[in-house]
Amino acid sequence: MHPTHPVLTDGSRLIAEACVRAGADAYVGYPITPASLIFFYASRRFPIALPAPDEITALQWMAGLSAAGHLPVTATSFPGFALMVESVNMAYMMELPMLVILVQRLGPATGTATAGAQGDLLLLNGLISGGYPLPVLCISDLEDCWRLPPIALQTAVDLRTPVVLLTSKEMVMTQESFDLARLEEISPVRRTFYEGPGPYCAYDAGDGLVPPFVPVGDGRHQVRLNASTHDRCGIIRHTSDEAMANTRRLEAKVETMTPILYTLDEQEGAETLVVTCDITTGAAREAVETLRAEGVPVSLLVARTLLPVPTVYHDIIGRYPRAVIAEENHQGQLARLLFGRRLPPNVRTVTAVGRMIRPDEIAREVTR
């Protein structure tokens, strides 16, 4: 089939455009390779685009904009994200929707800015002090660059929380021929502010898990936001029952309301399931196609929701005698996330550092 609107594009362009079409109205950026391309596009496209003097400021401005009713986005890589961590915790505790796009590159520390990696997953698992889960969605191809930002933004709004959209250098910088006609229209995220009679308490979720939102500055209701332990009205508390219940609610809402996104391409008779995410998805798809062409049945699970880890992944993996988890890091972080440090004997990993995993490496492990 011939493409109907072929373009040569990188993922950064699609991500920036998708965010704006989904209703994100403010981008706060600080340049860092390999996220700078998103910053470049965002500066052209977002209704409000602000260059921040550092990544701590970037997250604080985003929190302020979010508190005032905007829907902010930033993109960064590990060194910048490290500076954002306390502020992401703040936004999580204040329950402020925002999107942080984390473009992974080779670490540790500054590492190699221009080399891709998938090394930040375990950092994200445990990012929130106390072990509270942060929604993390992961882009696996160009279509995801279009499809996932609106879902991530809707999740941020629906759950009143920061959401991390995880990706990596080659996903957002490599140019690929792509058919824009394959992209579905994006509708702006559905968002309503509380307009009831009050009294309004910024953290009173009623019978639900997510409190209604009112921006600060509202002329009818007083809004109290708080990054410290607080009661349902946002007043600082030590460890009162009400305050601790409020904190526990943060976990409950993310655990139960984060969308579970994955693709399962199963083949009848397959003994092995390949599990992957992010840029390694391309190599996995190619390996699976090659194996199937050679008469080797194999299935493929592409994980898009990474955190909180959907339990369905264990269910799916459990149906197969063997699983091969492919990811671009040294430790096998996705594998550790799923099974801990001691992998079951029927689970193997294919890993690489400083380069992309090749399809033949995955195929070899499947047939080993």
Partner 1 sequence: MSRFLVKSELPYCKGCGHHLIVRNTVKALEAIGMEPLDVVLVTDIGCHGIVDGNFATHTVHGLHGRSVALAAGIAMGLPPEKKVIVYIGDGGATIGLQHILEAARMNVDITVVLHNNMLYGMTGGQPSGLTPTGFRTVLTPQGYPLPHHDIPRLVLDAGAPFAARVIAPGDFADVLRQALEVEGFSLVEVLGICVSYGVKMNPDLRLKELARQAGYEPGVWTGPTRPAFRPARRETTSLLETLAVSQRYSSPLEGRLTLILGGSAGEGVQQAAELLAQAAMSAGLYATKKGSYPVTVGVGFSVAEVVLSRTPIFYHGVSQPDAVIITSADGLANQRERIHPMKGGILWLDESLPVPETGAEVRVRDFRGRAGARNAGLYALLTFLRETGVVPPEAFVKTVQESPLGKHVDLAAL
Site for partner 1 in 277-296 (CB under 8 A): 281-283, 285-286, 289
Please select the residue that binds partner 1; options are 126, 182, 208, 236, rule is CB under 8 A.
236
Q: How far is the CB of 339 from partner 1 (least distance, A)?
A: 26
Residue 103 within binding range of partner 1, rule CB under 8 A: no
CB of 102 to partner 1, least distance (A): 19
Q: Cβ of residue 256: shortest distance to partner 1, in angstroms?
A: 27
Nearer to partner 1, 98 or 121 (CB): 98
Nearer to partner 1, 271 or 360 (CB): 360
Name the 3-class secondary structure at 298: coil
x-or-dash string of contact with partner 1, 7-26, rule CB under 8 A: xxx---x--xx--x----xx
Segment interacting with partner 1 (CB under 8 A) among 174-182, 205-213, 248-256, 306-314: 174-182
Q: How far apart are CA 84 and CA 325, in angstroms?
A: 30
Q: Is 274 in the site for partner 1 (CB under 8 A)?
A: no
Can you tell me which of 82, 174, 194, 244 binds partner 1, judged by CB under 8 A?
174
Nearer to partner 1, 70 or 232 (CB): 70
Listed ranges 158-166, 185-193, 229-237, 313-321: which one lies at the site for partner 1 (CB under 8 A): 229-237
**Rounded alpha-carbon distances, angstroms, from residue 337 to 90, 306, 308:** 25, 9, 10
Residue with tokens 């390779």: 33
Residues 175-214 that bind partner 1 (CB under 8 A): 175-177, 180
Residues 332-351 that bind partner 1 (CB under 8 A): none
User: Residue 349 Cβ, how far from partner 1 at the closest point, in Å?
Assistant: 18
Residue ranges of E strands in 253-346: 262-265, 272-276, 299-303, 305-307, 322-327
**267 to 123, 262, 288, 361: CA distances (angstroms):** 34, 16, 10, 20
Alpha-carbon gap, residue 196 to 105, rounded angstroms = 46
For partner 1, the closer CB: 98 or 325: 98
Distance CA 368, CA 106 (A): 29
**Does the footprint of partner 1 cover residue 227 (CB under 8 A)?**
yes
Told to check if 235 binds partner 1 by CB under 8 A, we report yes
Query: Which of 38, 136, 27 has the alpha carbon at shortest distance from 72?
Result: 27
Number of residues that bind partner 1 (CB under 8 A): 80
Scanning the structure block, which residue is given the tokens 């998938």?
118
* Pairing between β-strand 299-303 and β-strand 262-265 as defined by DSSP bridges: antiparallel
* Cα–Cα distance list, 249 to 93, 105, 152, 226 (Å): 11, 33, 20, 15
CB of 259 to partner 1, least distance (A): 24
Q: Is 86 in the site for partner 1 (CB under 8 A)?
A: yes
224 binds partner 1 (CB under 8 A): yes
At 54 the three-state DSSP class reads: coil
Judge contact between 326 and 362, C-beta under 8 A.
yes
Identify the burial level of 156 via C-beta atoms within 10 angstroms of its C-beta, where 0-12 means exposed, 13-18 middle and 19 or more buried. buried
Q: Is 85 in the site for partner 1 (CB under 8 A)?
A: no
216 contacts partner 1 (rule: CB under 8 A):
yes
Residue 53: CB minimum distance to partner 1, A? 5
